[in-house]
Amino acid sequence: MRYVDEYRDPEAIRALLARIEATITRPWTLMEVCGGQTHSILKFGLDEILPSRLRLIHGPGCPVCVTPLEQIDRALAIASTPGVIFCSFGDMLRVPGSQGDLLLAKARGADVRIVYSPLDAVAIARQEPSRRVVFFAVGFETTAPANAMAAHVAARDGLDNFSMLVAHVLVPPALEALLSAAGCEIQGLLAPGHVCVVTGYRDYEPIAARYRIPIVVTGFEPLDLLRGVHAAVVQLERGEARVENQYERVAGIDGNSAARRVVAEVFSVCDRKWRGLGEIPRSGYGLSPAYAGFDAERVFGLADLRVAEPTDCKSGLVLQGRLRPTQCPQFGKRCTPEHPLGATMVSSEGACAAYFHYGRTADFVAAEAGA
């Protein structure tokens, strides 16, 4: 497959690894921001073949993982309301709320449907005018244009039985929260390539300058990730701290202007609570005043619901890169993908699930570390 296989070429991977090895003179810690990148790193075993002086920590970039408990509880309350058709991307169905998950609600009779595209939810609203159709709009900047388009089309077509439960989050404010926290160990960032395809990367320039760290826009295939690592290491070794683009085949500095336009029309920036990270000011999108009529929290009167996070799951620390999944006492014991205690075990892009799927058991990690 073009634009996939070339970036998995073993010869080129070996050559780039040798180059990283030749460049690195000191230990460095990088964070890959996006859960898709974490997944690739573990799937292709890049964590095992990179020089041991290079430490990769896994970032908060999985929207499924960071959706707070109370938003799942709102989803459950709406889905269980008679007459509602609740539409969601498949990854959200097994995320535990405080009283079960959407899959359980479905088993108990709620009409929960998995959609591939947000426009599928709009089509259902069109076909079922007597039912209330709610779409669970989760995601980072990557998904915002598609979700915004759903509201745009629903408004254009006058569908008053359609609404959205919005849990949109933004990458730069979360990065600032991590980088400004006491004891932050991150020295360089691999920025999420698919977010930047939409937004571009101008917003990362003040962050690189303020925290004096290199930020490299990076893709998802093994060679993309190694190019990102290499560029970051070169900058660190030289004492530089710039934003650099290593995903130039799809990400431009200004992103996609048509996509950004519909996002600006439908959403406005708001404060958001992140699972594990708490409330971060101006870190998400809510519906803009013109689209407030599509806000499911208002339609169903759930805006005031508040829920505390569970204490036995350490996903908050995992999401900040402060705890490896295998260091959580529940990992692989009480908590598995079959019976997840926390969201980072549910989503295939969550760090806990990625460690579990690719056999990074506690023993394995200890052996790797030479412990």
Contact with ligand SF4 (CB under 6 A) among 61, 118, 193, 342: 342
Residues 235 and 188 sit within 8 Å (Cβ to Cβ) = yes
**Which residues, 207 to 236, sit near another protein by CB under 8 A?**
220, 223, 227
Contact with ligand SF4 (CB under 6 A) among 256, 268, 330, 348: 330
Please name the residues in contact with 3: beta carbons below 8 A apart, sequence gap of 6 or more: 249
Q: Indicate whether 318 belongs to the interface with ligand SF4 (CB under 6 A).
A: yes
Residue 77 parent element (H or E): helix 69-79
Q: In this structure, which amino acid lies at residue 31?
A: M
Q: Indicate whether 177 belongs to the interface with ligand SF4 (CB under 6 A).
A: no
Single out the segment in contact with ligand SF4 by CB under 6 A; choices: 145-153, 172-180, 193-201, 326-334.
326-334
Helices (H), 118-216: 118-127, 144-156, 171-180, 193-199, 205-211
* Strands 278-287 and 267-274, bridge-based pairing: antiparallel
Contact with another protein (CB under 8 A) among 57, 79, 138, 328: 138
Contact with another protein (CB under 8 A) among 30, 50, 54, 64: 64
Single out the segment in contact with ligand SF4 by CB under 6 A; choices: 43-51, 179-187, 292-300, 309-317.
309-317
Contact with ligand SF4 (CB under 6 A) among 44, 203, 331, 347: 331
Residue 200 contacts which entry, ligand SF4, another protein, none (Cβ below 5-8 A, type-dependent):
none
Question: From the centroid of its chain, how far is CA 307?
Answer: 21
Single out the segment in contact with another protein by CB under 8 A; choices: 24-32, 135-143, 158-166, 264-272.
135-143
- Residue 306 has what DSSP assignment? -
Residue whose CB is less far from ligand SF4, 54 or 353: 353
Q: Indicate whether 335 belongs to the interface with ligand SF4 (CB under 6 A).
A: yes
- Burial (CB < 10 A; 0-12, 13-18, 19+), residue 107, is exposed
* d(C-alpha 246, C-alpha 24), whole Å: 19
Q: Indicate whether 328 belongs to the interface with ligand SF4 (CB under 6 A).
A: yes
Q: What b/e sequence results for 182-191 when a residue is b if at least 16 CB atoms lie within 10 Å of its CB, and e otherwise?
A: eebebbbbbb
Residues 128 and 54 sit within 8 Å (Cβ to Cβ) = no
Cα–Cα distances (Å) from 57 to 49, 188, 319, 343, in that order, read: 15, 10, 10, 18
Site map 4..33 versus another protein, x via CB under 8 A:
x-x----xx-xxx-xx-xx-----------
Please name the residues in contact with 22: beta carbons below 8 A apart, sequence gap of 6 or more: none
CB of 161 to ligand SF4, least distance (A): 36
Helix axes 222-238, 10-23, angle to 10 degrees: 10
Single out the segment in contact with ligand SF4 by CB under 6 A; choices: 84-92, 257-265, 267-275, 312-320.
312-320
Question: Which positions touch ligand SF4 (CB under 6 A)?
Answer: 313-315, 318, 325, 328, 330-331, 335, 341-342, 344-345, 352
Question: Which positions touch another protein (CB under 8 A)?
Answer: 1-4, 6, 11-12, 14-16, 18-19, 21-22, 34-36, 61-64, 89, 91, 116-120, 138-140, 142-143, 145-146, 149, 192, 194-195, 197-198, 220, 223, 227, 246, 248-252, 256, 258-259, 262, 347, 349
